[in-house]
Amino acid sequence: MHDGSGRIVVQNLSKQFGAVNAVQNLSFTVEPGSVTGFLGPNGAGKTTTLRMLLGLVTPTSGAATINGRPHSQLGNPARVVGSVLENEGFHPSRTARNHLRVYAAAIGVPDRRADEVLGLVGLGSAADRKAGGFSLGMRQRLALATALLGDPQVLVLDEPTNGLDPEGILWLRNFLRSYAREQRRTVLVSSHLLNEVEQLIDQVVIISQGITRYYGPLDQLRKSQQSRVLVQPADPAALVKTLQENGIQQVSPTPDGRVAVAGSSVQQIGDLAAKAGIAVYGMQEDHADLERMFFQLTQGQYTGGPGYQPQPQYQGPPPPGYPPSGPQQQQQQHWGGPQR
Ligand SMILES: Nc1ncnc2c1ncn2[C@@H]1O[C@H](COP(=O)(O)OP(=O)(O)OP(=O)(O)O)[C@@H](O)[C@H]1O
Ligand SMILES: [Mg+2]
């Protein structure tokens, strides 16, 4: 039997499709009581990972468990984990209620649960409409309703914000937060857009090209945002040399002839440039936002130039409930700027 913990553990998970390394040695843990975002650009390996977690794809190596068990050993899995994956289809001529009743029967829950979950996702008034006529956002809600049928302890949602309007995103945010926090459930949500799930998630696992780039609390990623100064000197090479000689190491020229300096103030840079007799024509403070950091972590192509190096994030103890070696080890192993 499973352990009833509500914990998702992904351990050294890899999947190869022919020559494509879809997922490489991925490890993370998701605990109940919070929403974890599983983020990465298109093709990063999110859906493949979730499919392995849900027993739909066999891993090349490693393991993914829910409540301490692989999906195939969960008994009645719909009672433990509800999921929505990409491109889930509905019988177009079936009403929303009937669609849900078919699934309810399959997992052994009473018919009335269909109306309950329609109410939960705000589709109560559309119960008798055919799913084929639903909008994209309504289909997302119906898919979520299907996932909720078994009142599962764990929810796994692949790109649930796709197709939702701003009101729908707000609704989803409130719904998932209360599902996770008030009911102590586990929620794992993937997305390729950080800003769509930023308000929704507490923890984040960021992957790119099948590899973990960051794993830890979103707050820590936020706090680690570091500003840099873009300097326009008469002689970029001389300024780089002077700054480095004075112990400022995070310095590099940008393609547009400026010098990007992290970990130093405008005043400090100005003083050092003046002392070295280097004319400076302008300086600009540049604050990295979370979205750009996500872009840098996943693409390795920070458009402002190679000088920007955020500090390693989350060096402290693991968040509550995480194993001592989990997030830190993973993160430190992979941190160090973009990896290609
Ligand atoms: N069944 C398959 N056969 C061959 N290659 C596959 C298969 N499924 C996924 N891939 C490849 O694995 C890689 C990861 O794909 P995956 O669908 O997991 O990415 P994703 O992060 O979900 O992307 P998106 O944001 O576009 O949904 C891609 O290169 C993809 O082409
Ligand atoms: Mg996907």
The two beta strands, 20-30 and 154-158, are: unpaired
Residue type, 228: R
Is 54 part of a structural domain of the chain?
A: yes
pLDDT averaged over every residue in the chain: 84
The answer to whether 221 and 289 have CB atoms below 8 angstroms apart is no
Q: Output the CA torsion sign for 150, 154, 155, 158.
A: negative
Q: Are residues 19 and 93 in the same domain?
A: yes
Is 273 part of a structural domain of the chain?
A: yes
Which pTM was predicted? 0.75
Q: So what's the pLDDT on residue 326?
A: 34
CA distance 87 to 69: 26
DSSP symbols for 83-130: EE-TT----TTSBHHHHHHHHHHHHT--THHHHHHHHHTT-GGGTTSB
The domain tally of the chain equals 2
Q: Find the CATH number of the domain harbouring 262.
A: 3.30.70.100
CA distance 155 to 63: 19
Q: So what's the pLDDT on residue 288?
A: 66
CA distance 50 to 3: 20
Q: Where a domain ends, among 222, 247, 274?
A: 222
* 229-263 pLDDT, tens digit each: 999 999 999 999 999 999 998 898 988 899 999 88
Q: So what's the pLDDT on residue 320?
A: 35
Is 337 part of a structural domain of the chain?
A: no
Q: Find the CATH number of the domain harbouring 73.
A: 3.40.50.300
Residue whose CA lies nearest to ligand 1 atom number 8: 48
Instruction: Please say if the pLDDT value at position 101 is more than 80.
Output: yes
More confident site: 46 or 320: 46
CA nearest 312: which of 330, 277, 336? 336
* 15-61 pLDDT, tens digit each: 999 999 999 999 999 999 999 999 998 888 999 999 999 999 999 99
CA distance 169 to 254: 38
The answer to whether the CB of 58 is under 6 A from ligand 1 is no
CA distance 331 to 89: 37
The answer to whether the CB of 17 is under 6 A from ligand 1 is yes
For residue 256, give its domain range.
Answer: 227-287
Instruction: Please say if the pLDDT value at position 88 is more than 90.
Output: no
Q: Are residues 144 and 238 in the same domain?
A: no
Is 306 part of a structural domain of the chain?
A: no
Residue whose CA lies nearest to ligand 1 atom number 24: 42
Which stretches does DSSP call E strand in the chain? 8-17, 20-30, 35-39, 61-66, 81-84, 154-158, 186-191, 203-208, 211-217, 227-233, 251-253, 259-262, 280-287
CA distance 216 to 28: 9
Give the percent of the chain with pLDDT over 90.
58
Q: Are residues 208 and 164 in the same domain?
A: yes
Q: Where a domain ends, among 171, 196, 222?
A: 222
Pocket test for ligand 1, best of 14, 16, 21, 47 (most atoms within 8 A of CB): 47
- In total, the chain counts a number of residues equal to 340
Cβ neighbors of 303 (< 8 A, separation 6 or more) are none
